[in-house]
Amino acid sequence: MATLLRKIGLIRLHNRDTEDPKHHHNHRGGGGGQQSASLRGKGGAKSGGHKQQQQQQQQQQHPGGAGDASPGPGKGKGKRAAEPAPRDKPPQPAAGAAGAAGAGGPRERAAGARAGPGPAAAAAAAAAAATAGGSLVPAARQQHCTQVRSRRLMKELQDIARLSDRFISVELVDESLFDWNVKLHQVDKDSVLWQDMKETNTEFILLNLTFPDNFPFSPPFMRVLSPRLENGYVLDGGAICMELLTPRGWSSAYTVEAVMRQFAASLVKGQGRICRKAGKSKKSFSRKEAEATFKSLVKTHEKYGWVTPPVSDG
């Protein structure tokens, strides 16, 4: 009886193993079932690890393919997980895909376009600032020269106004401190020029002085306006041949009064006369002609030198 029952049990166990593939290799006994189960556990763990590794590789290769089907046993599950999405809401892109799209999206490109001119604008601003900074030096220097020139000329005017002998007088041209009309009232009374002034009722010799920006470190340009003179180192256009009026002969220590006294002496020494020739005496001097003549004589004297008169001539 026991043998029959054992046979029946073996038959049932054989049928169960045949019907259930999971127990196909466990028909030999309980020990064999436990060993098979442990092997299946190890194989399942290896299979699961291999599946996870494949899914990670696929996600790295296809960042936006979280809902895509993957080869192998997980393919059916991927499809089933992706099918309900259209009914509920559109599938959201993965974080990696969103990051990649955001990096090159229109908003970021627009931001890059806005940020692009930033360095160029900064460089342009720096160049403009450098240019402005470079232009400040000449501007400050010019302002300083103007202040020095103004202070010097104001002092000159005050000194001339205090002269007791009324040797010269000054009138500003168009109220400009840098453009003077100077009247020479006196020359040597023993000279022929003085006699000409008395005979022609000429009260003064009128001269024009214009002061450059760097005065008193450069000489003024001086020319005769009236009357029309001959000789006395007065040349065409009213230009005056005097070394101290050239950059080479000028000194910042010279004052307008000292220059005018030197000019009065040179007129007498050079036998200057008032022109009385018909048609020529009424012809006025020209500034343009005077400037051209003065430049020419400066070049000539720089080439051949200035003639120094003997000490006996004064």
Report CA-CA distances (Å) from 129 to 125, 138, 167. 6, 15, 53
Name the strand (E) or helix (H) holding 126. Answer: helix 117-161
Average pLDDT over the chain, rounded to whole? 72
Q: How far apart are CA 261 and CA 186, in angstroms?
A: 9
The string of pLDDT tens digits covering residues 14-32 is 555 555 554 444 444 444 4
Residue 76 CB: number of other CB atoms within 10 A? Answer: 10
Give this prediction's pTM.
0.55
Q: How far apart are CA 103 and CA 98, in angstroms?
A: 8
Alpha helices in 216-313 (DSSP H): 256-269, 287-304
Q: What is the pLDDT of residue 204?
A: 96
Q: What angle do CA 223, 225, 229 make, to 5 degrees?
A: 90
What is the CB-side half-sphere exposure of residue 15 using CA atoms within 13 A?
Answer: 6
DSSP classification of residue 80: H
Q: What is the pLDDT of residue 223?
A: 96
**Among residues 187, 241, 264, 298, which one is catalytic?**
241
C-alpha 154 chain-centroid distance: 38
Q: How far apart are CA 120 and CA 66, in angstroms?
A: 42
Q: What is the pLDDT of residue 45?
A: 47
What is the per-residue DSSP string for 151-213?
A: HHHHHHHHHHHT-SS--EEEEEGGG-TTEEEEEE----TTSHHHHHHHHTT---EEEEEE--T
The string of pLDDT tens digits covering residues 238-296 is 999 999 999 889 999 999 999 999 999 999 999 999 998 866 666 778 889 999 999 99
241 a catalytic residue: yes
